């Protein structure tokens, strides 16, 4: 699988919990492609943000939820996704907003 760094990392996840992790320990949360492994995520983050060095990557896989359409009994399914929590070395930071 040869994807560009911008195809591996889809978007940052900006939630209250993610902001607390960022403030406490230089950990940033991203939504990534489900097929990407930790080494690919590390290389993609370091390519997108060349001034930072990644020390650790934790990943979590999420299954898509079953949802009903409004006004009918038809059900659909949201796609599965992967969350990556990236820890940077001390002193490094990423400006997301």
DSSP 16: H
Task: Give the containing element (helix H, strand E) for 31.
Answer: strand 27-32
Output the domain CATH number for residue 24: 3.30.70.330
pLDDT, one tens digit per residue, over 41-95 is: 999 999 999 999 999 999 999 999 999 888 888 899 999 999 999 999 998 888 8
Q: Pull the structure tokens for residue 83.
A: 């969350």
Q: Pull the structure tokens for residue 35.
A: 């097929």
pLDDT, one tens digit per residue, over 4-52 is: 999 999 999 999 999 999 888 889 999 999 999 999 999 999 999 999 9
The verdict on residue 97 lying in a domain is no
- The separation between CA 41 and the C-alpha centre of its own chain, rounded to angstroms, equals 9
- The domain of 36 spans 5-88
pLDDT on residue 95: 83
Of residues 45, 69, 75, 47, the one with CA closest to residue 57? 45
- Residue 1 pLDDT greater than 70, yes or no: no
Predicted TM-score (pTM) of this structure: 0.86
How many separate domains does the chain show?
1
């Amino acid at each position: 699988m040869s994807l560009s760094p911008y195809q591996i990392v889809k978007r940052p996840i900006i939630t209250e919990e993610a902001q607390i992790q960022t403030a406490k320990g230089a950990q940033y949360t991203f939504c990534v492609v489900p097929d990407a492994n930790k080494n690919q995520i590390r290389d993609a983050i370091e390519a997108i943000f060349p001034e930072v060095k990644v020390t650790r990557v934790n990943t979590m896989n999420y299954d898509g939820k079953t949802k009903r359409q409004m006004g009918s009994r038809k059900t659909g399914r949201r796609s599965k996704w992967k969350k990556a929590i990236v820890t940077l070395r001390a002193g490094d930071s990423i400006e997301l907003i």
